[in-house]
Amino acid sequence: MRRQLHELVVEMVNKEIPLELAKREFERAYLMQVVEAHAGNQSAAARSLGIHRNTLSKKLEPLMTSLRYPEASC
């Protein structure tokens, strides 16, 4: 796992991805994977993450909005 993470970090550095974007993207992918692993059960996902369910909901809200209303590709 560390090797894969290292390779991803190297790729992001080479592409000059800003730290804030990298952190936001990691958190998005991680949270979505945990929620998926718990079949959409946010309470169970929050417990496994060690955070309150409301905190998880607040973090997921902008992600869910962007999934519902994807930007038009013109």
Task: Count the neighbouring beta carbons within 10 Å of the beta carbon of residue 18.
Answer: 9
Report angle CA 30, 34, 38 to the nearest 5 degrees. 170
Structure tokens at 16: 């000059």
* pLDDT for the residue 12: 93
pLDDT tens digits along 17-66: 999 999 988 999 999 999 999 999 999 999 999 999 999 999 999 877 66
* pLDDT for the residue 10: 96
Q: Which residue has the tokens 């800003």?
A: 18
Q: Which residue has the tokens 């496994």?
A: 48
Instruction: Please state the pTM of the whole predicted model.
Output: 0.76
Cα distances from 29 to residues 9, 25, 74, in angstroms, run 15, 6, 25
